[in-house]
Amino acid sequence: MPTGVQGPVAPAPAQRRTFLPFAPPVIGQEEIEEVVDTLKSAWITTGPKTRAFEREFAAFVGAPGALALNSCTAGLHTALATLGIRPGDEVITTPMTFCASVNVIEHVGARPVLVDVEPDTLNIDPQRIAAAVTPRTRAILAVHYAGHPADLDGIEALARTHRLTVVEDAAHAIPARYKGRCIGSGTNPVAFSFYATKNLTTAEGGMLTGDAAFLERARVLSLHGMSRDAWKRYDQGGSWRYEVLLPGFKYNMTDIQAAIGLWQLRKQDAFQRRRREVVARYTAMFAGEEALEPPVARPDVEPAWHLYVLRLRRQALRIGRDRFIEELAARNIGTSVHFIPIHLHPYYRDKYGYAADAFPVAYQNYRRLLSLPLHPGLSDRDVSDVIAAVLDVARTHRR
């Protein structure tokens, strides 16, 4: 991994006086009042607000139905288990993702088969998927990296040819569109994340979309395998009787979380407008700097712009990515890296014997990328500060 030129980080001549966090949540008075209303009610766990959130979310993305859960990880795990994926099966996915996308494949006992990514979007490459399909392959788990939709036409065509299920990790992808349709609007399983840093947050939480019959089975599995949830048992007119139909999980969302989510959902259009404004300013200012490579947006998609992933052209700089991040931190700009590829983590590296360059596109891009602050709470001054700091570091350390 690159560390760049060694030595102390040079102080910036003019910088922010306060640190700019990478991605704080944007919570308004509406969310606070809705949570207080829930706390004052007779129901704080999975109940009426969770059901309302499911209905509004499904309508927002055009999904046949939605199941609110306590994380995107829970959504992915529940989806694979509901599909009956088990030991001996294989699931093809990408190394350019957070570990949860791949951990869930291990959780059901299947083998994750990693394939490399496309050099422009860093999404899974359909051509490489085709070469990785075997008689044991059961599903393709596609990740919409940074909020840019993967090549769903290519992926779905492969799935039809080989009779595979497409499961989408849409942790970054609300409210992204692919060729005019919202991510999550299909009948296949799609999992969304509402973690604290996401475009829509419930602090912790997630949503699984898909067709009604699939979600009915997934709902049972997501709450201990029980035939009735607590709201149906304890609310007026409910029955105390229930049956355990299979050994399920404890993955339900609470009404406290859903109370936040209801208002976050209603603010998505405004949030997205601000994200696009910030992206436009970043890209306009960075496009002319030879050391910087802004992210792409293909013409047939509308990215959710969860992340603004800037790539460094290392041949134009005297420092590497890690030192670049340190320099930005010295200028009070918070950043992150998305992601350390899966095959570099000790568990997967050692279990499957991966070399660092096993997936060269993912590996080489990882070594030169960083994520800049991008959220609807950024002021124009914040954006200007980020731009000034990035350009200052790039020009100070130009080769």
DSSP string, 87-145: TT-EEEE-SSS-THHHHHHHHTTPEEEE--B-TTT--B-HHHHHHH--TTEEEEEEE-G
pLDDT in tens, 182-239: 999 999 999 999 999 999 999 999 999 999 999 999 999 999 998 876 555 556 666 7
CB atoms near residue 367 (< 10 Å): 18
**d(Cα 170, Cα 14) in Å, to the nearest integer?**
39
The rounded radius of gyration (Å) of the Cα atoms in the chain is 22
**351 catalytic residue (yes or no):** no
In 190-254, which ranges are continuous DSSP H helix?
A: 212-222, 230-234
**d(Cα 202, Cα 62) in Å, to the nearest integer?**
20
The verdict on whether omega for the bond into residue 175 sits within 30 degrees of 0, i.e. cis, is yes
CATH architecture of the domain 29-266 equals 3-Layer(aba) Sandwich (3.40)
- Phi first, then psi, for residue 181 (nearest 5°) are -110, 145
The three-state secondary structure class of 181 is strand
Whether the pTM exceeds 0.75: the reply is yes
Tokens linked to 347: 């568990």
**d(Cα 172, Cα 375) in Å, to the nearest integer?**
13
Position 118 scores a pLDDT of 98
The three-state secondary structure class of 372 is strand
Position 227 scores a pLDDT of 81
* Residue showing tokens 């130009």: 398
**90, 309, 103, 72: which is closest to 184 by C-alpha?**
72
How would you class 353 by CB atoms within 10 Å of its CB: exposed for 0-12, middle for 13-18, buried for 19 or more? exposed
> DSSP secondary-structure letter at 62?
T
Secondary structure element (H or E) that encloses residue 328, with its range: helix 321-330
Intervals of the chain under pLDDT 50:
1-7, 9-13
Position 279 scores a pLDDT of 98
**d(Cα 269, Cα 200) in Å, to the nearest integer?**
11
Through-space distance between the first and last CA atoms of the chain, rounded to whole angstroms? 20
- Listed by start position, the domains of the chain span 29-266, 268-396
Catalytic residue selected from 40, 179, 198, 267:
198
Q: Domain 268-396: give its CATH code.
A: 3.90.1150.10
Under 8 Å between Cβ of 144 and 98: no
Position 3 scores a pLDDT of 38
